[in-house]
């Protein structure tokens, strides 16, 4: 029996390359591989062309991705650590502890 599924065209489901959790694209961090240079870029607006891979906005997933090269594998390209760190830094929730 076919499973009736509601599709939300605005928020397709993507999978985190590190922990494999599925989540709406809008909740994940996108990385895109530039089709020309094959450089992997952080894509905060999720608009860049080219192949994309996703991570949860979660420090554990960034660590895992760095350690296991999950994004490199997902994108079949070398992901510079700098790019990951930049994205992680920007997505970290500021913690204004007194
Ligand atoms: Zn994850």
Mean pLDDT over 40-49 rounds to 96
> What pLDDT is stored for residue 9 in this prediction?
61
The answer on pLDDT for 8 being more than 60 is: no
Report the separation in Å between the CA atom of 85 and the middle of ligand 1, taken as the mean of its atom positions. 15
Query: Could you tell me if residue 21 is inside a domain?
Result: yes
> What pLDDT is stored for residue 91 in this prediction?
83
Query: Could you tell me if residue 5 is inside a domain?
Result: no
- Percentages of the chain per state (helix, strand, coil), in multiples of 5: 30, 20, 50
Report the separation in Å between the CA atom of 36 and the middle of ligand 1, taken as the mean of its atom positions. 28
Q: 98 pairs with which residues across the strands?
A: none
- For position 55, which CATH number holds? 3.30.1230.10
> What pLDDT is stored for residue 26 in this prediction?
94
Report the separation in Å between the CA atom of 22 and the middle of ligand 1, taken as the mean of its atom positions. 8
Average pLDDT, rounded, for the chain:
90
Query: Could you tell me if residue 4 is inside a domain?
Result: no
Owning domain of residue 43: 13-91
> What DSSP assignment string belongs to 33-66?
E-TTT--EEE-TTS---SEEEEE-S-HHHHHHHH
The answer on pLDDT for 43 being more than 70 is: yes
The SS3 call for residue 3 is coil
Mean pLDDT over 44-73 rounds to 96
Query: Could you tell me if residue 97 is inside a domain?
Result: no
Q: Residue 85 contacts by C-beta under 8 Å, 6 or more apart in sequence?
A: 62
Banded model confidence at residue 85, pLDDT cuts 50, 70, 90: very high
Q: Residue 75 contacts by C-beta under 8 Å, 6 or more apart in sequence?
A: 31, 33, 40, 51, 52, 53
Query: Could you tell me if residue 6 is inside a domain?
Result: no
Banded model confidence at residue 16, pLDDT cuts 50, 70, 90: very high
Report the separation in Å between the CA atom of 45 and the middle of ligand 1, taken as the mean of its atom positions. 19
Query: Could you tell me if residue 2 is inside a domain?
Result: no
Report the separation in Å between the CA atom of 97 and the middle of ligand 1, taken as the mean of its atom positions. 26
Report the separation in Å between the CA atom of 94 and the middle of ligand 1, taken as the mean of its atom positions. 19
Number of separate domains in the chain: 1
């Amino acid at each position: 029996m076919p499973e009736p599924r509601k599709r939300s065209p605005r928020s397709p489901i993507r999978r985190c390359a590190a922990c494999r959790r599925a989540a709406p694209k809008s909740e994940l961090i996108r990385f895109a591989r530039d089709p020309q240079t094959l450089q992997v870029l952080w894509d905060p607006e999720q608009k860049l062309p080219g192949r994309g891979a996703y991570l949860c906005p979660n420090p554990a997933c960034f660590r895992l991705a760095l350690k296991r090269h999950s994004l490199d594998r997902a994108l079949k390209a070398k992901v510079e650590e700098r790019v990951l760190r930049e994205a992680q830094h920007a997505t970290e929730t500021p913690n204004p502890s007194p």
